[in-house]
Each structure stands twice: as structure tokens, then as C-alpha cells.
């Protein structure tokens, strides 16, 4: 079972539901405990079992594939590559000519 530990800090100056906020996620319980021990009054950690996450949520591990590019996007990319290639060829030709003059 894969477990991660969400590390929280409490901000006593804030009132309401945003008083605590996550600051990090670690995969080692000892690290989570060290974080807590550094300031037990204002820090805490919560274990989270990754195996409990439903697979159909679109979370990492079950990514939603990107849509294929449109023909307009493909043509625009082809044109940019062609223009960049021509520009590079011109630059290289200029550098070659400068080198030959020396």
C-alpha cells in the first residue's frame, strides 16, 4: 500500500476554515514526525493511502489523454519549423562567409 503524509501548519492569526493549510507532502513517516516535532503546537501530519483513490478520477496514474492537434495547428507548426530552418541556414551561411574572409 502506498502512503503519503500531508504536512499541515496552523496559523493562529487566521480565523475560520483556512487556519490550517498543507505545506508539503512526503512519503516517509519519520520525516513527517520530524516536521511535527519541530513545532508540535502549530504543525501536524495526516497519512493518506493512495490505494484508496478511485481510478476513474483522472488523477496522475490514470491521466486523461490529450486531444490530437487540429490540421490548422499542424500546419502552423510545420510553417514555424520551416521558417526556423531557413533562418538557421542563413545564419550558418553568414558565419561561414565571415570565417572565410579572415
- Structural domain including 48 reads 1-52
Indicate whether 62 belongs to any domain. no
Indicate whether 60 belongs to any domain. no
In a shared domain, residues 44 and 90: no
Q: Work out the burial of residue 81: count CB atoms within 10 Å of its CB; fewer than 13 is exposed, 13-18 middle, 19 or more buried.
A: exposed
Give 10's pLDDT tier (boundaries 50, 70, 90).
Answer: confident
In a shared domain, residues 72 and 44: no
For residue 90, the model assigns a pLDDT of 92
Number of structural domains in the chain: 2
Q: Is the pTM of this model over 0.75?
A: no
pLDDT surpassing 70 at residue 20:
yes
In a shared domain, residues 47 and 75: no
In a shared domain, residues 7 and 45: yes
Give 55's pLDDT tier (boundaries 50, 70, 90).
Answer: low
Instruction: Please state, in angstroms and as integers, the Cα–Cα distance from residue 90 to each residue in 7, 39, 71, 100, 102, following that order.
Output: 55, 62, 29, 15, 19
- DSSP class per residue in 38-91: HSTTTEEEEEEEGGGS-GGG--TTSPPPPPPPPHHHHHHHHHHHHHHHHHHHHH
Mean pLDDT (the chain, rounded): 81
Q: What integer is the mean pLDDT of 91-98?
A: 89
In a shared domain, residues 1 and 48: yes
In a shared domain, residues 46 and 5: yes
Query: In terms of pLDDT, which residue wins out, 68 or 53?
Result: 68
In a shared domain, residues 45 and 80: no
pLDDT surpassing 80 at residue 73:
yes
pLDDT surpassing 90 at residue 86:
yes
Amino acid at each position: 500500500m502506498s502512503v503519503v503524509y500531508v504536512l499541515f501548519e496552523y496559523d493562529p492569526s487566521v480565523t475560520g476554515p483556512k487556519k490550517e493549510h498543507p505545506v508539503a507532502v512526503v512519503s516517509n513517516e519519520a520525516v513527517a514526525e520530524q516536521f511535527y516535532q519541530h513545532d508540535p503546537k502549530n504543525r501536524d501530519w495526516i497519512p493518506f493511502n493512495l490505494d484508496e483513490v478511485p481510478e476513474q478520477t483522472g488523477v496522475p496514474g490514470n491521466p486523461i489523454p490529450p486531444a490530437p492537434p487540429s490540421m490548422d495547428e499542424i500546419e502552423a507548426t510545420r510553417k514555424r519549423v520551416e521558417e526556423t530552418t531557413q533562418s538557421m541556414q542563413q545564419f550558418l551561411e553568414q558565419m561561414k562567409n565571415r570565417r572565410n574572409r579572415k
